[in-house]
Amino acid sequence: MPPLESLVGFIEFRFPAFLAMHPLVAPFTAAKIRALNVGDEVFLTGTVFTGRDAVHKYLHEGGKLPPDINLRDGILYHCGPVTLKDEHGHWKVTAAGPTTSSREEPYQAQIIGDFGVRAVIGKGGMGERTLAACKEYGCVYLHAIGGAAQVLAECVKRVRSVHFMEEFGAPEAIWELEVEAFPAVVTMDSHGNSLHRDVLAHSQAELARRL
């Protein structure tokens, strides 16, 4: 069997749910999250909160969330959206792709535990500590399509609120977004599986045979 087929074969064998598509609709209960497996494609409907470097550092250092934000059973999105105020003074999201998640690896596990986060959306995947926290607390990592700013912005139906605008600036603020059928792929599940770890191991082995 050619080596590439063996990798595709491996993933399809290892993750039989590989081709499954799942609507994932709020409330994001532990049971719904635990039912997800690596390779599942989800379409998310509900509320997500953006947070990037400044928010993660702040929460990690013991910073408090504003009283009207609750991350319990919530979704954290690694994203710095491009936003505009329309003529009625309402915020509109014009671009909303994911940013690289690995920068939050030092903070993520603790935040998942402390705040009861059920899913983290980003790109590029995260490391072993986050994977362990996903397993312990019942959380998943959802990989959005990097660069798909327009498709993902179309999924944002409403901006509910924005916090920390003054302190952190617009891209780093916490934006509370109502999304509909937002596409993402489970690449780290709550059972200890990581697509990133597996693809890395297999590509490493394939490369070794070609050097």
- Catalytic residue list: 56
Measured from the CB atom, is 178 or 198 closer to other proteins? 198
* 3 state SS of 191: coil
> Which pair of tokens denotes residue 3?
């080596």
Chosen residue from 16, 27, 63, 146 binding ligand SF4 by CB under 6 A: 146
Chosen residue from 3, 27, 63, 147 binding ligand SF4 by CB under 6 A: 147
Binding mask 112-131 for ligand SF4 (x = CB under 6 A): --------------------
Positions 78 through 97 that interact with ligand SF4 (CB under 6 A) = 97
Q: How far apart are CA 38 and CA 22, in angstroms?
A: 12
Q: Which does 199 bind (CB under 5 to 8 A by kind): other proteins, ligand SF4, none?
A: other proteins
In angstroms, give the least distance from the CB of 97 to ligand SF4: 6
Q: Is 66 in the site for ligand SF4 (CB under 6 A)?
A: no
* Number of neighbours of residue 16 by Cβ within 10 angstroms: 10
Which residues of this chain interact with other proteins, rule CB under 8 A? 3-4, 7-8, 11, 18-19, 39, 41, 80-82, 84, 94-97, 99-100, 102, 123-125, 143, 145-151, 154, 169, 183, 185, 187, 195-196, 198-200, 202-204, 206-207, 210-211
